[in-house]
Amino acid sequence: MRSRLTIGLVSLGLVFGLAPLSRAPIEIRTVVANPEPVIIEVPKPKLELSDLPLSWQKLAMCESSGRINAVSGTRKQFQGLFQIEYPRTWVAHGGPKDLAPKDATVMQQFYVALRIYVDRSSKPWPYCGKFLKEEYGR
């Protein structure tokens, strides 16, 4: 025990003894406790089609001509920028049950489309998926 203490003190002395003497400024800050919490509201960023990666912009232009509320299919089941099948594929990949893709924001549609892509690659977009293959190679 004694030798460990001696070694520790000696090494501590070496560290401080060999360190160059420099006069670095020391900053002291005072912290004042605020009794009332401060609430800052940060608006959610509004994502536009032009904010998406280029390959996803091309996919959206190919699938829906860039229309966020596009609807197609015999039963009007393909909706939104990426023509996501509603309700089955939309809900299975995280889309809200009570909100159709044609009524969702670009952010919500992009989120679901990314999850579909991770799960099924570009297969849900048989023709337009070539734009994703160019970028991601899947």
Would residue 73 count as lying in a domain? yes
Q: Give the tens place of pLDDT for each residue, 78-104.
A: 999 999 999 999 999 999 999 999 999
Would residue 99 count as lying in a domain? yes
Would residue 130 count as lying in a domain? yes
The whole-number pLDDT of residue 46 equals 81
The whole-number pLDDT of residue 31 equals 65
Look up the domain containing 95 and give its range.
49-136
Token pair belonging to 69: 């509320």
> Which stretches of the chain score pLDDT less than 50?
4-19
Would residue 115 count as lying in a domain? yes
The whole-number pLDDT of residue 135 equals 77
**Is the separation of the CB atoms in 80 and 70 below 8 Å?**
yes
The whole-number pLDDT of residue 134 equals 79
CA distance 87 to 85: 6
Please name which of 70, 65, 56 lies closest in space to residue 100, comparing C-alpha atoms. 70
Token pair belonging to 80: 């939104």
The whole-number pLDDT of residue 117 equals 94
Domain count for the chain, please give it. 1
Taking the alpha carbons at both ends of the chain, their separation in whole angstroms is 63
